[in-house]
Structure 1
Amino acid sequence: MNGYSVFLIMLTVYIAVLVAISWYFNSRQKSITDFWLAGRMIGPTAIGFSAAASWLTAGGVLAVVGYFMLGGMGSIWEFVAPNILALLVIAVLVRKIKSLPAITQPELLEQRYGSSVRLPIAVIITVVMTLFSVSDIKGLSLVLQVFYGLDPLYAAAIIAVSVSLYVTLGGLSAVIWTDVIQFSFLALFAMGMAFVSVGTVADGGLNTTAISASQLFGNVSGSWWNPFSVGLPLVLILSFALIPGWITEQDPWQKVWAARDAKSASRGMVVGALMISVVFAACAVIAIALNSIYPEIAKMGFPAGMGLAEPALLNFINTRFGSSPVIISLSAIGLAAASMSCTDTFSTSGASCVSRDIFQRYIKPDATMKEMLAVNRISVIAIILAATAGSFVIPDIIGAIQIATFIASSSYFFPLMGGLYWKRATKEGAFAGMVVGFLVQVALVATDLIKTPPMGTNYLETIHPILTGHGVIVGMTISAIVFFGVSLMTKPSSKINLAPFFKEEAEKLARYESKAVSETDKSYSAFLENVDEKVTGERAHLQLNLRASGNLNWHEITERLKISYPAWITPTGIDSVYRLTHGDMLSCVTITRGSGDRDIWLKAEPTLETMGRQKRELFTAYEELKKVLGQKNIRLDFFK
């Protein structure tokens, strides 16, 4: 049996395990929150594993080894340090993010600014997530090409089939728990290769002079260890270019929303930062050993030597273990796991924008959960196919990651963070800052890609150092000027748009408290028996599944509900209807479409101390909905 056959058998078993995990979670999904936010029940360890796995691609690991080989610790600002720092910043922002009643960032921005911003931000996030997926496909392509001589299209096919199978079955729960397995594979691979590469040098393998581990690390020059060897200006430029884009990425925010409470989310992000630090430390050890094995690569410097430095680890594995197809296959599986763990996150985030923020919001507002899942499955595959096409255009792995990050930083960093903390931000300012920043940054990236010679210094960087990183500092500056300037020149946001973000504004709008409900009321007792109740962390999750006796005109229902009972509002369109009764909008009762054409879901996520009151409010909301439907002679029945 040849090595490629061994790899295919092991890959099939591995994917079967991932699909089994997804099938398990598929059977437990009872709401839109279960699919997109894993029921908000994930603990800190799983959040940490998933956060780490989502930001460590196979290509990223290979590129980091290459950077360390050519630039030493000074290269950490290209990818490593911003990666770690971004997770730590998110850990600080967790409490604000966790309190927001949204499933996706475009939905959140519509709540903050209005409908005009949801479509452009959904498109931008989808583009960014697709670009991130490019790096995964390029990384796996490199692995399969070096190990088995395969065409890059095979990498895309493997990722497309495997990821679409388990993600579309189990949603974010599948992504998070398969990430735990995938990060474990990658971490074991990285640490194993660190020991093997150092051991090879110590044994004098691969025609190298045998030296001890202490001699190996002792021979490394002092400049190699200096993290500021690239100069403070470049450190600042890269930090300001990369960290904003990564802290506003949709995928870590979705993991924060999926956490069982703010403390779990914050600890998870810190755990994730520590986990990737361990892997990056292993990459540094590997790079030191490979510089001893391949000294000719280190002498080439950056960027000229990157073409040989990126696949250096793969070539080492191939040479060192060429006679052992099992070890080669295990290495390929470890790197394939890294590619899948990132692609599943990116494609899930991008597909949620397509299905929920574009399809349901603008194309079919009354779409059921079943219809959105179908669109979600198609979107996952479409994003991977688009990323495959992009992998033939974007020249290097880290380049794909950085381009995606720069576009994110320049387009929605200021509208998103400004919306969270600055009341004076307006929809006009957000829209203008987002669109102008996006167009400027895309133009700068395109100019750089077209005019930069192969393996040469980026064209814009040769004009002025401030244009390092495809001119992202310029793009962000223009976006900020437009966002703040237009916001100050336009009318302030309405209180309805401010309510989800500023508790005092929500309290000004709150209209009704729950009506008096007798605990001995038989109808209330029967109602409570059908409420699905879960407690996770500091909040309870209350859900009531209803089935109508006739066809539902969703637009008419929401309008009648809002007219009859003014507490009901639709801040993000008719797909989600909120009963705004107090300042904590996450606790407010929400109505959404269910899985089938006649299914309706009522849910609320109150804090534990207000759970009793919110059960009564859920009953009040049910009674109001029942009266509105009764006007159309439609009856509501409970179902689990």
Structure 2
Amino acid sequence: MDGYNIFLIMLAVYIAGLVSVGWYFNKKQKSITDFWLAGRGIGPFPLGFSAAASWLTAGGVLAVIGYFMLQGMGSIWAFVAPNIIALLVIAVLVKKIKNLPAITQPELLEQRYGSIVRWPIALIITVVMILFAVADVTGLSLVLQTFYGLDPFYAAAIVAIAVSIYVTLGGLSAVVWTDVIQFGFLSLFVIAMAFVAVGTVADGGLQVPAISSSELFGSLPGDWWNPLSIGLPMVLIFCFAIIPGWIIEQDPWQKVWAARDAKSASLGMIIGSLMITVVFTACAVIAIALSYIFPDIAGMGFPAGMSLAEPALLAFVNERFASAPAVIALSAIGLAAASMSCADTFSTSGASCISRDIYQRYIKPDATMKEMMLVNRASVLFIILAATAGSFVIPNIIDAIHIATFIASSSYFFPLMGGLYWKRATKEGAFAGMVVGFTVQVALVALDLIKTPPLAPSYLESIHPVLMSHGVIVGMSLSAIAFFLVSFMTKPSSRVNLAPFFEEEAEELARYEAKGINENDPEYRAFLKNLNEKVTGERAHLQLNLRASGSLSWHELVDKLKASSPAWVTPTGLDSIYRLTHGDMLACVAVSRGSGEQDIWLKAEPRLETVGRQKRELFTAYEELKKVLGQKNISLDFY
């Protein structure tokens, strides 16, 4: 059996395993939280492995090895160090992020500023996720083309089919647990290749003079080991250009929201940074060995040698295992795992923006979960196909990742982080910061791509060092100026918008309206019997699934609930309505559409010490809902 057929069999088995994971979690989904946030029950280790896998694309690994070959440790600031630092910073921000009652960042920003910012940020995040996925498709294309001579279309097809099936079946739970599997494949592959590459040098394989490991590592020039060899100003520019964009990336925030508690989320991010460090250390070892095996490539310098340095590992595998096609197939699977582990995360984040933040928010607020699943599946396919098209325009793997990062940094770093910690931030300021940052950064990227000759230093960087990285420092600076200046010039945000982010503001709105309840009341006991309760970490997840006896007009229902009590508010549009009765917004009762046309879901996520009070609050909300529907002669049944 030839190597290509071996690869196809292994790939089929591997994808079947991933799909089975998605199918398993599909059976466990009973709510929106289950699908988009894995039921908020993910522990620190799967979270950490998933966080690491989501930032270790196949193309990224190949590019990092290329950087090490051409620039040594000074190259860590272009990709390696920002990965590690960003996850550690998110670990510090966990407590603030974890308690926000949102599923996506656009939803969060609408809560903070209003509807004016939700659609532009959803579009921006979708663009950013497509650009990140470009690196995945490009990396896997390079692998399949080098090993088997396949057209890039097949890489996109593999990623699109596999990811769209298991993601839309199992939601974020499937993403996290398949990431664990995929990180295992990738890390074992990279660590094994480090041993193989060093062993090849020590044995004198591939017709290179044999030298010991100590001689190999000692033969490097001293400057190779210096992480500041590119100069402190360049280090600072890289940090300011990349780290903000990765701190605010939507996918790690969704995983923080999916963690069972703040401690698990923080520990998970720390574990993720350690796992990334292990893989990148192995990449450095591989690069050292490959520099000895392919001295001509290592001597070409950056950026001229990057086109050969990126696929150097693939060339090594092809030569070293020419007589062992099964090993080449396993290598292809390991790198395919890396591509899928990132692509599923990016497509999930982007698809959630399309389905939840655009389709449900603006096109069909009363969309059921079944409809949302269909839109989500189509959105995943759209993102992968768009990434495939983008891979022909942006063939450089790291450049695709950097462009996505720079657009994110310039567009919404200040509106997002300012909204979390600065009360004076306004919707007009946030909108101005996003529009200015996005427009300027896209224009600078386009100018740089058009004006830069192949394999030459970037056009903007040749004008002035501060314009390196496609001028992201300029884009971020103008975004910050617009955000702060317009915020100071406009009216402060309303208390309803501030409530989810600043507890003291929420307390000012609090209405303790839950009526006294006789716990022996048969109706209350029936309610408790049908209430789904699950404890994860410091919170309980309460959900009541209801089915109406007749057809629902969701818009009318929301309007009548808001008219029945001032406690009912819609801070993120008509798709969800909250009963704002106390400072902890995540614990407040929320009502949304269920999986079918006549299904309604009520949920609350109180802290354990307030579960009893929130059960009574949920019952009060249920009775108010029942009363409103009763006016239309519609009854409610538990299911």
- TM-score tier, shorter chain, comes to over 0.9
Corresponding position of 1:280: 280
Corresponding position of 2:599: 599
Q: What secondary structure does 1:455 align onto?
A: coil
Does residue 237 of the first structure (1) align with residue 237 of the second (2)? Answer: yes
What is the aligned length? Answer: 639
Q: What secondary structure does 1:170 align onto?
A: helix
Give the Cα separation in 2 of the matches to 1:530 and 1:470: 56
1:186-213 CA-to-partner distances (Å, cap 9, x unmatched) read 0000000000000000000011111111
Structure 1: gaps spanning 5 or more residues = none
Corresponding position of 2:302: 302
Give the Cα separation in 2 of the matches to 1:123 and 1:284: 37
Corresponding position of 1:333: 333
Give the Cα separation in 1 of the matches to 2:212 and 2:513: 73
1:152-176 CA-to-partner distances (Å, cap 9, x unmatched) read 1110111111111111110000000
Corresponding position of 1:437: 437
Q: Is the 8 A contact 1:512 1:567 kept in 2?
A: no
Q: What secondary structure does 1:280 align onto?
A: helix
1:515 deviates by 1.3
Q: What secondary structure does 1:595 align onto?
A: coil
1:438-477 CA-to-partner distances (Å, cap 9, x unmatched) read 0000000000000000000000000000001000000000
Letter in 1 for 2:14: Y
Give the Cα separation in 1 of the matches to 2:572 and 2:22: 30
Letter in 2 for 1:230: I
CA RMSD of aligned residues (A): 0.5
1:112-156 CA-to-partner distances (Å, cap 9, x unmatched) read 000000000000000000000000000000000100011111101
Does residue 58 of the first structure (1) align with residue 53 of the second (2)? Answer: no
Does residue 346 of the first structure (1) align with residue 346 of the second (2)? Answer: yes
Give the Cα separation in 2 of the matches to 1:187 and 1:566: 54
Corresponding position of 1:191: 191
- Please give the TM-score of this superposition, normalised by the length of structure 1: 1.00
Comparing 405-414 with 212-221, greater Cα deviation is found at 212-221
Alignment of 1:386-535 (within 5 A): 386-535=386-535
1:323 deviates by 1.1
Give the Cα separation in 2 of the matches to 1:154 and 1:450: 28
Give the Cα separation in 1 of the matches to 2:33 and 2:374: 17
Letter in 2 for 1:577: I
Q: What secondary structure does 2:398 align onto?
A: helix
Give the Cα separation in 1 of the matches to 2:514 and 2:337: 49
Q: Is the 8 A contact 1:57 1:339 kept in 2?
A: yes
Give the Cα separation in 2 of the matches to 1:179 and 1:159: 14
Give the Cα separation in 2 of the matches to 1:515 and 1:196: 70
Give the Cα separation in 2 of the matches to 1:103 and 1:380: 17
1:79 deviates by 0.1
Give the Cα separation in 2 of the matches to 1:33 and 1:582: 21
Give the Cα separation in 1 of the matches to 2:517 and 2:221: 75
1:514 deviates by 1.8
Q: Is the 8 A contact 2:138 2:395 kept in 1?
A: no
Structure 1 runs (4+) greater than 2 angstroms displaced: none
Give the Cα separation in 2 of the matches to 1:299 and 1:19: 44
Corresponding position of 1:376: 376
Letter in 2 for 1:220: L
Q: Is the 8 A contact 1:3 1:326 kept in 2?
A: yes
Q: What secondary structure does 2:316 align onto?
A: helix
Q: Is the 8 A contact 1:86 1:246 kept in 2?
A: yes
Does residue 207 of the first structure (1) align with residue 220 of the second (2)? Answer: no
Give the Cα separation in 2 of the matches to 1:166 and 1:5: 24
Corresponding position of 1:356: 356
Alignment of 1:543-554 (within 5 A): 543-554=543-554
1:28 deviates by 0.5
1:513 deviates by 3.5
Q: Is the 8 A contact 2:297 2:309 kept in 1?
A: yes
Give the Cα separation in 1 of the matches to 2:324 and 2:549: 64
Corresponding position of 1:258: 258
1:417 deviates by 0.2
Letter in 2 for 1:76: I
Corresponding position of 2:25: 25
1:518 deviates by 1.5
1:398 deviates by 0.3
1:511 deviates by 1.9
1:35-65 CA-to-partner distances (Å, cap 9, x unmatched) read 0000000000010000000000000000000
Q: What secondary structure does 2:543 align onto?
A: strand
Q: What secondary structure does 2:535 align onto?
A: strand
Give the Cα separation in 2 of the matches to 1:16 and 1:617: 44
Q: What secondary structure does 2:339 align onto?
A: helix
Q: Is the 8 A contact 1:130 1:386 kept in 2?
A: yes
Q: What secondary structure does 1:28 align onto?
A: coil
Q: Is the 8 A contact 1:19 1:166 kept in 2?
A: yes
1:512 deviates by 2.7
1:395 deviates by 2.9
Corresponding position of 1:271: 271
Does residue 612 of the first structure (1) align with residue 607 of the second (2)? Answer: no
Corresponding position of 1:13: 13
Q: What secondary structure does 1:541 align onto?
A: strand
Give the Cα separation in 2 of the matches to 1:53 and 1:278: 12
Give the Cα separation in 2 of the matches to 1:514 and 1:211: 77
Give the Cα separation in 2 of the matches to 1:636 and 1:512: 25
Letter in 2 for 1:18: L
Does residue 143 of the first structure (1) align with residue 143 of the second (2)? Answer: yes
Q: What secondary structure does 1:471 align onto?
A: helix
Corresponding position of 1:159: 159
Give the Cα separation in 1 of the matches to 2:262 and 2:45: 13
Give the Cα separation in 2 of the matches to 1:468 and 1:617: 55
Q: What secondary structure does 1:469 align onto?
A: helix
Give the Cα separation in 1 of the matches to 2:373 and 2:155: 25
Q: Is the 8 A contact 2:460 2:471 kept in 1?
A: yes
Q: Is the 8 A contact 2:415 2:483 kept in 1?
A: yes
1:219 deviates by 1.1
Corresponding position of 1:635: 635
Q: Is the 8 A contact 1:103 1:254 kept in 2?
A: yes
Letter in 2 for 1:396: N
Corresponding position of 2:93: 93
Give the Cα separation in 2 of the matches to 1:246 and 1:494: 29
Structure 2: gaps spanning 5 or more residues = none
Q: What secondary structure does 1:450 align onto?
A: helix
Give the Cα separation in 2 of the matches to 1:542 and 1:483: 38
1:598 deviates by 0.2
Q: What secondary structure does 2:601 align onto?
A: strand
1:77-97 CA-to-partner distances (Å, cap 9, x unmatched) read 000000100000000000000
Identical pairs, percent: 78
Corresponding position of 1:537: 537
Letter in 1 for 2:286: I
Corresponding position of 2:176: 176
1:522 deviates by 1.2
Corresponding position of 2:584: 584
Give the Cα separation in 2 of the matches to 1:177 and 1:427: 37
Corresponding position of 2:73: 73
Letter in 2 for 1:315: A
Corresponding position of 1:119: 119
